[in-house]
Structure 1
Amino acid sequence: MPNEKIILAVDLGTSGMKVALITLSGKVLGWESEPVRLILTPDGGAEQSPEEWWQAFLSASGRMLARHRDAAADVIAVCCSTQGEGTVAVDRAGNALGNAILWMDMRGEPNLKRQMRGWFNLDGADLFKVLRFVRLTGGMPSMTGKDPAAHMPFIRDDLPEVYARTYKFLNVLDYLNLRLTGEFVASYDSIVTSWVTDNRDPNAIHYDDSLIGILGIDRRKLPDLVPCTHVIGCLRRDVAVALRLSTDVKVVAGAIDNTAAAIGAGAVEDYAAHLYIGTSSWITAHVPFKKTDVASSLASIPCAVPGRYLLTALQATAGGNLTYLRDNILYHKDELLQEADVPDIFKVLDQIAERVPAGANGVLYTPWIWGERAPVEDRTLRAGLYNLSLNNTREDIIRAFLEGIAFNTRWLMAPVEKFLGRRVKSINIVGGGAQSDVWCQIFADVMNVEIRQVSDPLYANARGAAWIGAVGMGEIRFEDIPNLVQFRMIYSPQARNRALYDEKFAVFKQIYTQMKGVYARLNRTK
């Protein structure tokens, strides 16, 4: 019996590079990872080195393929999933002209606001410009400056020498595909948050000159557009040689993280929802229509599935709160602990949080440690611990962190269900946070929905990239994917916790209402 064909899947998140060898049926044969530095600049920027991404890919892939030498001959394609909303300026030779500006970077806010200003302004944006963006794209640039629509004007205005040398602006996914193939292209979903495309036909996304004009970007600096399942070309010879792969291996365009995670979670059918819990968090569901809810910052946008859009509800920081708790509170860097001495917070969650009853003995946490995006978009919000007393312990705080992120997700569910026009009764959960059994049960109890824990949830993005690659190669169909997904456990809401969590959720929302003005005062731009 011949060996099953394999996709080399790439998952580049904010925290690091992951690579996997995944069969067409979704079995993970090999897995390797490499950390990537996050660079926070004195002027409020958030950056990463594109060269560091690439070297992490070569290093992690090289180690993995060396351990699975027999599998290398069965690799038919490479397909990537990456963090979205990043911007890399490259020259005509494909060289990065500096660090990548990430989705956390808000330095472009004033640059974008200058572009968006007009005669009839609402929250800093001309009403007629907003309406045009919404009608054509389904959304609009984030006025916080967190996406490429602001990054590009920032480079143009504040880094004019870089702008002059820029041949193309690429998202994170597009940059990896450039290094893999030598081709300057963007996928239908990676281009979305540049907000320069007409998305009314999901099968024929194309640039709109009026939107490009509003942002004031040179059209020639934007890459060609291709569907997520498009075969860009073969692996560059030098890359194939470095990895000891065949030069016949193809590269499929792939997708950004939320698009790939939806595929990897098996939530491919219309209205099927998945929840991703990683550094950030989101809920998505494929829908057969383009629609926008401006009030709740929700929109359905182009995705990997032909003829469909992906409702995407993004929240700023989820598991990032736990990383902060670990690195800055529980095991502070000044303690000079070796990395091996600091436990993986996700691996100890169950042991610590299960010792604390539902409600965290009265402690409540709001997880807005980097502002929020939905259901409210407010960069001035900050995290907070409420109702601490001398009776509370570290264990209570850890449980409160988990519950607070779940409350924030429940807050998002009301506009999501309104958008979908139906109640969500079941959600597939993936991402690093989905490894915690206790947290899965907390989500079920807080949100009053069935939580289906996808097996090996950490691999969801890579598995989604692999399946997108397999579809692009004509090996499987998207409609085959739900039957390929396996679940580790199903969590049903526990009736004994429902009243308690309903009451605490009401307090959670009240904290936002009463504190948003205080946060705005404390954190407004000088």
Structure 2
Amino acid sequence: MTESPLILAIDHGTSCMKVALIRVDGQVVGWESQPVRLYLTPDGGAEQSPDEWWSVLLSTTQKLLERFPDAKKDVAAICASTQGEGTIPVDKDGHALMNCILWMDMRGEPHLKKQFHGLVNMGGVSVYNTLRWVTLTGGMPSLTGKDPSSHMLLVRDRFPEIYERTYKFLNVLDYLNMRLTGRFAATYDSILTSWVTDNRSPDAVHYHAGLVQSSGIAAEKYPEIVPCTAVLGNLKPEIADLLGLSRNVKVVAGAIDNTAAAIGAGTVADFAAHLYIGTSSWMAAHVPFKKTDIATSMASVPCALPGHYLLTALQATAGGNLTYLRDNILYHKDELLQEENVPDIFKVLDIIAARVPAGSNGVIYTPWIWGERAPIDDRAVRAGLYNLSLRNTREDIIRAFLEGIAYNTRWLLDPMQRFMGRKIYHVNIVGGGAQSDIWCQIFADVMNVEIHQVADPVYANARGAAWIGAVGMGEITFNDIPELVKFKNTYVPNPQNRNTYDSCFDIFKKIYQQMKGIYHQLNR
């Protein structure tokens, strides 16, 4: 019996490049990763080097294939999941003309507001433009300047010589695909945050001439648009030879991270929800309709699944709060540091949190450490610990961090249910944070829903990319995916914690209402 074909799946996040060999049934054969550097500029920019991405991708892939040399002959396709909302101007030969402007870079904010300024304004952008964007695309440019619509204007206004030389503006996914195939193409989801497409038909996303004209960017600088499952072509011969792969290996277009995670979590049925817990976090579900809820910053937008949209409610920072706790409170490298060699600090945090009762002995943590996106879009809010007393210990604080992120996720639950017009009874959980058994139970208890812990949840994005690739190659259909997903455990809400968590959640929301004015005074 021959083995099923392999997909070389790329999972390119902000912190590192991961590459996996995954069979079409979802089995992960092998995995390699390597960090990538982040550059913060003096003027508030956040950048990464596309050339470094490419070098790291090649070296990581070579290491992986050296470990599994017999697998090379089985690789049928390459497919990527990447961070989104990055912008790289490239010339006709595909050379990056500057560093990638990342999703966290806000330098484009004044350029966006200048471009779309009108007599009747919403935060500096005309109501007419806002309504047109929402009607056609499902959303609108972030007024923080964090997405490509602002990045491209930043390049046009601040770096005019680069703008003139730009052949195409590419998102992160588009750039990697261009390096792999030579084709300049965007996917239905990667082009979204350029805010120049008509998304009213989920299977025919296309540029809208009026939106392109008003964007301030020349139409010819936008790439062609293809579905996520499109086969872009063969892997470039020189790259295939370098990696020792067949020159017939196909490159499937792939998707950005939240689109891929929705596939990797197995939630391809209508209204099936997943929760991703990484540095940031989101809840998402596929829906059969296009809709926007401006009040909660939720919208259903183009995705990989034919005939569908993906509803995504994004939290700005989730697991990043734990990284902050580790690096700046528990193990900050100063004179107080006594222990430096802890094998896995997050496993230790799990053990500690499990010893603390529900409600963290009265301590509540608000996880808005760098603003928030949904269900409140407020860049001024910040994290806080509330109700500390002499009786509390750092064990209470550790559990309060986990509970605070769960409270914020519960806050998303009601608007998501209203958006979909139905109740959510269970959620598949994926991402690095989903490896924590105690955190999965906390989510179940706080949200009062069953939490289904996907096996090997840290591979969700790569597995999603692999399955998108397998669909593109005709090896499986999206309808096959729910049967391919494996689960480690199911967490049922503990009724004994119901009153505690309901009370704490009410207080959590009141903290925002009482404190938002102070946050805006402190963080103008």
TM-score category by the smaller chain? over 0.9
Task: Give the 3-state SS of the residue equivalent to 2:71 in structure 1.
Answer: helix
Distance in 1 between the 2:111 and 2:419 partners?
A: 31
Does 2:507 align with 1:507? Answer: yes
Task: Give the 3-state SS of the residue equivalent to 1:459 in structure 2.
Answer: helix
Identical-residue share of aligned pairs (%): 70
| Equivalent in the alignment of 2:523 | 523
Distance in 2 between the 1:422 and 1:508 partners?
A: 25
Does the C-alpha gap of structure 1 residues 499 and 81 become closer, same or farther in structure 2, counting only changes over 3 Å? same
2:18–2:60 contact (8 Å) kept in structure 1: yes
Instruction: Report the more deviating stretch, 330-339 or 239-248.
Output: 330-339
TM-score, normalised by the number of residues in structure 2: 0.97
Does 2:312 align with 1:312? Answer: yes
Which residues of structure 2 form unaligned runs of 5+? none
Distance in 2 between the 1:320 and 1:160 partners?
A: 36
Superposed counterparts of 1:23-34, under 5 Å: 23-34=23-34
Distance in 2 between the 1:342 and 1:108 partners?
A: 41
Any idea what the Cα deviations from partners look like across 1:93-116, whole Å, max 9, x if unmatched? 111122211111112111111122
| Equivalent in the alignment of 1:491 | 491
Amino acid in the other structure paired with 2:372? E
Does the C-alpha gap of structure 1 residues 122 and 354 become closer, same or farther in structure 2, counting only changes over 3 Å? same
Superposed counterparts of 1:113-512, under 5 Å: 113-334=113-334, 341-512=341-512
Amino acid in the other structure paired with 1:166? T
Distance in 2 between the 1:469 and 1:22 partners?
A: 10
| Equivalent in the alignment of 2:67 | 67
Task: Give the 3-state SS of the residue equivalent to 1:200 in structure 2.
Answer: coil
Following TM superposition, by how much is the alpha carbon of 1:473 offset from its aligned partner in structure 2, in angstroms?
0.3
Any idea what the Cα deviations from partners look like across 1:398-439, whole Å, max 9, x if unmatched? 111111111111111111111000010100000000000000
Task: Give the 3-state SS of the residue equivalent to 2:52 in structure 1.
Answer: helix
Distance in 2 between the 1:342 and 1:115 partners?
A: 51
Following TM superposition, by how much is the alpha carbon of 1:338 offset from its aligned partner in structure 2, in angstroms?
13
Following TM superposition, by how much is the alpha carbon of 1:127 offset from its aligned partner in structure 2, in angstroms?
0.8
2:5–2:23 contact (8 Å) kept in structure 1: yes
Any idea what the Cα deviations from partners look like across 1:52-91, whole Å, max 9, x if unmatched? 2212211211111111111111000000001111111112
Count of residue pairs the alignment pairs up:
524
Following TM superposition, by how much is the alpha carbon of 1:154 offset from its aligned partner in structure 2, in angstroms?
1.4
Following TM superposition, by how much is the alpha carbon of 1:246 offset from its aligned partner in structure 2, in angstroms?
1.0
2:228–2:254 contact (8 Å) kept in structure 1: yes
Amino acid in the other structure paired with 1:501? Y
Any idea what the Cα deviations from partners look like across 1:297-317, whole Å, max 9, x if unmatched? 111001101111111111111
Distance in 2 between the 1:293 and 1:387 partners?
A: 34
Task: Give the 3-state SS of the residue equivalent to 1:154 in structure 2.
Answer: helix
Amino acid in the other structure paired with 1:522? L
Following TM superposition, by how much is the alpha carbon of 1:242 offset from its aligned partner in structure 2, in angstroms?
2.0
Does the C-alpha gap of structure 1 residues 393 and 339 become closer, same or farther in structure 2, counting only changes over 3 Å? closer
Does the C-alpha gap of structure 1 residues 345 and 187 become closer, same or farther in structure 2, counting only changes over 3 Å? farther
Distance in 2 between the 1:471 and 1:43 partners?
A: 43
Distance in 2 between the 1:109 and 1:76 partners?
A: 43
Amino acid in the other structure paired with 1:299? A
Distance in 1 between the 2:498 and 2:97 partners?
A: 53
Any idea what the Cα deviations from partners look like across 1:123-150, whole Å, max 9, x if unmatched? 2221111110011001111111111111
Task: Give the 3-state SS of the residue equivalent to 1:73 in structure 2.
Answer: helix
Distance in 1 between the 2:397 and 2:464 partners?
A: 34
Distance in 1 between the 2:163 and 2:189 partners?
A: 24
Following TM superposition, by how much is the alpha carbon of 1:514 offset from its aligned partner in structure 2, in angstroms?
1.4
Distance in 1 between the 2:290 and 2:467 partners?
A: 24
Instruction: Report the more deviating stretch, 311-320 or 160-169.
Output: 160-169
2:47–2:105 contact (8 Å) kept in structure 1: yes
Which residues of structure 1 form unaligned runs of 5+? none
Task: Give the 3-state SS of the residue equivalent to 1:34 in structure 2.
Answer: strand
Instruction: Report the more deviating stretch, 318-327 or 191-200.
Output: 318-327
Amino acid in the other structure paired with 1:262? A
2:234–2:247 contact (8 Å) kept in structure 1: yes
Following TM superposition, by how much is the alpha carbon of 1:333 offset from its aligned partner in structure 2, in angstroms?
4.3
Distance in 2 between the 1:345 and 1:20 partners?
A: 25
Any idea what the Cα deviations from partners look like across 1:237-274, whole Å, max 9, x if unmatched? 22212211111100000000010000000000100000
Distance in 2 between the 1:334 and 1:60 partners?
A: 34
2:17–2:33 contact (8 Å) kept in structure 1: yes
Amino acid in the other structure paired with 1:51? D
Q: CA RMSD in A?
A: 1.6
Distance in 2 between the 1:236 and 1:341 partners?
A: 44
Following TM superposition, by how much is the alpha carbon of 1:345 offset from its aligned partner in structure 2, in angstroms?
3.8
2:229–2:253 contact (8 Å) kept in structure 1: yes
Task: Give the 3-state SS of the residue equivalent to 2:92 in structure 1.
Answer: coil
| Equivalent in the alignment of 1:105 | 105
